[in-house]
Structure 1
Amino acid sequence: MASFGCCGLLFWLVAFGLAAADIKLDCGPDYMTLVWSDSRSQADPSLFRLGSCFPTSFTLREAFFSVELDDCGFRRLVSGNELNYTNDLVYTSSPDSYVAPFILPVVCSYQRPKNWYPMIYDPVFSTYGVEDLVFNMELMNADFSGPAESPIFPLGSMIPIMASVAQVNHQPLLILLEECVATTKPDLQTDGDIYTIITNKGCLVDSKASRSKFEPRLMESEIRLSLQAFKFGLEQEVYIHCTMVAWDPNGLDNTKKACHFVKEHGWELLDNPAFSGLCDCCESTCKTRKARSPGAGKGLVKKAVIGPLTITDQAA
């Protein structure tokens, strides 16, 4: 990325209740370094993530990150004369740990360059808040490191989509895509034409006839979908409507899952292929079971839509 010269370089980091930790953040022109250290904490530094990035290095009491602002899924936001790059320092914890998971917002703030202008279109994304959960679904670039640079995709190319949930006060939650369809209208209408992508409580049915697939997870709170551009709505504005679910990572069953079809193998469970039997119902009906704790809390399901995007007749 281009380096941004700036008169004043600002940064801040909010550490919810973790004032005892020593956190150092240094924002460079196109990179940042972050050091978390605490001699008294029982936190495991290897379990920290900065967005999608693992620590550059760590010791028993310190996690160190040195990353470029084009990496790790940094989000860019222009506000007035400021250009902000934001991300989350996430501690995932382990099942037997006494240290609760937590999220620390990280921001590098720069003076907006005089010759910098927004992209020629608004990035296609939507953010939805539910109590203290924030769901997000957005079109991404090819390696999922940032928002898509264009909403136009040639037929047969891959459309990267990422859904995530931020969970400050909740136990760790797994994000799932329960249902997804494509339409040519921003509102999902029962009498309109639709193209089914995901159905049957998490079955990526589009993967049976295409190269569509779920990508390996980097963290439980986000899910990445590589969707092969389809003929439906060709050369028209297309909207993708999804139902997102935040769920107990240990509570997967045949109604709370992420399954895709692998050629020459069959249906495979994204989060643990050894339990791909949960996907067997993708060929029939995955029956809804009675809601149960902890995944059955109010507000853990959210509908979202991204678009418009355009699939062109120029084959990839």
Structure 2
Amino acid sequence: IVRSKCSVMMAFFCQRALLLSLAAAVSVYADMKLDCRPDLVTLVWTESRSQADTSLLRLGDCFPTSLSAREAVFSVGVNDCNFRRLVTGDQLMYTNDLTYVSPPGSHILPFTHPVVCAYERPKDWYPLVYNPVFHTYGQGDLVFHIGLMNDDFSGPAESTSFPLGSFIPIMVSVVQKSHQPLLLLLEECVAATTPELLPESSIYPIIANKGCLVDSKVSRSKFEPRQKSSEIHLSLQAFRFGLGEEVFIHCKLVAWDPIGLDNTNKACHYNKEHGWELLDNSGYSNLCDCCESSCKSRRMRSITSGKHGIVQNAVLGPLTVTDVLS
């Protein structure tokens, strides 16, 4: 029994030593400055390696707020980016991970660097109670939300009625409790006049073909620039389908491994000047080429297995599109 315990302890210390040595190796090539304030955390990561792409750095599930060739800056709140909160004695600690997602074939290996902010615990502090505004769906230890937003996506919409031709701002998000940062994608969305999709239901396709915003070819609909990997913002131009009736948006959401993008796991919209563009990295927009045909995976793998991602069906509505002339 003693030998068994020792072997477990040795494995733990060896793993710990390996993580520390990797962090030390990364520190040789980079410098991290962390400023923890009550309402703002600022992290500045400076790279010396010319091959490193600072746009591939993530703080939890957040993208950098500003970038240069050698520097990535994150200015975020402690309630964002999947910071983990821990109360220990008179301290309130927020921990996170700075990760580098290395693209295939890169000489720069992926890495994780710990980020810790410690504050004096307020005497009147108590855990916040989360009251979701959106339609909420749970699967495993992931919680999905989908909701209508105001024009700048800063809060929930004040109305569920939208004039024809205006934009319907939709935000979809996933709260990740124990997962490594995942990328949220919309695999398919259709509009229908029923809260459930039935064989006889009339539908209007919005997103099809494994993440292609097909509605953007005939409208001004588009994905907005992503602020967090766990969120996706869609500006959907109000359409004639179901005009004046209650309309429901039925979507298939996918929380996916961020380094596992391919032509069946992507977010693409149509730019009238440049054609199909990939939301997360326009340099790989060739993944969207199949939007004009059929997007099929070259590799056989199951999303529902949980190895690469999790699928969740969601319904948003009812909402109403009104004719501005009526």
TM-score computed with the length of structure 1 as normaliser: 0.65
* Deviation for aligned residue 1:205: 0.4
Contact 2:187/2:254 (8 A) holds in 1? yes
* Deviation for aligned residue 1:248: 1.1
Q: 1:133 to 1:313 in 2, by over 3 A?
A: same
- Choose which of 256, 277, 296 in structure 1 pairs with 2:286: 277
Q: 1:25 to 1:151 in 2, by over 3 A?
A: farther
1:187 equivalent to 2:187? Answer no
Q: Secondary structure at the match of 1:195?
A: strand
Q: 1:278 to 1:212 in 2, by over 3 A?
A: same
Higher mean displacement: 188-197 or 88-97:
88-97
1:305 equivalent to 2:319? Answer no
Distance in structure 2 (CA, Å) of the matches to 1:282 and 1:48: 31
* Deviation for aligned residue 1:186: 0.5
Q: 1:134 to 1:244 in 2, by over 3 A?
A: same
Bigger proportion of residues as helix: 2
2:148 corresponds to:
139
- Choose which of 83, 92, 99 in structure 2 pairs with 1:93: 99
Contact 1:207/1:261 (8 A) holds in 2? yes
Q: 1:256 to 1:66 in 2, by over 3 A?
A: closer
1:227 equivalent to 2:221? Answer no
Contact 1:49/1:89 (8 A) holds in 2? no
* Deviation for aligned residue 1:136: 1.2
Q: 1:171 to 1:66 in 2, by over 3 A?
A: closer
Map Cα deviations across residues 72-116 of structure 1 (whole Å, 9 max, x no partner).
89xxxxxxxxxxxxxx997553344443699xxxx9999xxxxxx
Contact 2:221/2:236 (8 A) holds in 1? yes
The root-mean-square deviation of aligned C-alpha atoms, in Å, is: 3.9
1:155 corresponds to:
164
- Choose which of 149, 166, 189 in structure 1 pairs with 2:175: 166
Q: Secondary structure at the match of 1:230?
A: coil
Contact 2:100/2:111 (8 A) holds in 1? yes
Alignment of 1:10-21 (within 5 A): none
Distance in structure 2 (CA, Å) of the matches to 1:101 and 1:302: 31
Q: Secondary structure at the match of 1:282?
A: helix
Map Cα deviations across residues 220-269 of structure 1 (whole Å, 9 max, x no partner).
11111100000001111000000000111111111001111100211111
Map Cα deviations across residues 166-185 of structure 1 (whole Å, 9 max, x no partner).
11211211000000000011
Q: Secondary structure at the match of 2:248?
A: strand
1:287 equivalent to 2:296? Answer yes
In the alignment of these two chains, the number of paired residues is: 243
2:8 corresponds to:
none
Q: Secondary structure at the match of 1:300?
A: strand
* Deviation for aligned residue 1:272: 1.1
Distance in structure 2 (CA, Å) of the matches to 1:253 and 1:200: 12
1:241 equivalent to 2:247? Answer no
**Which residues of structure 2 form unaligned runs of 5+?**
1-34, 44-56, 67-73, 82-93, 102-109, 117-124
**Which residues of structure 1 form unaligned runs of 5+?**
1-22, 27-32, 38-45, 56-62, 74-87, 111-121
* Deviation for aligned residue 1:314: 1.1
1:203 corresponds to:
212
* Structure 2 residue identity aligned to 1:304: A
* Deviation for aligned residue 1:134: 1.0
TM-score computed with the length of structure 2 as normaliser: 0.63
Distance in structure 2 (CA, Å) of the matches to 1:290 and 1:65: 37
Q: 1:182 to 1:48 in 2, by over 3 A?
A: same
Higher Rg of the two aligned structures: 2
Q: 1:226 to 1:219 in 2, by over 3 A?
A: same
Map Cα deviations across residues 133-165 of structure 1 (whole Å, 9 max, x no partner).
111111111111111111110000000111111
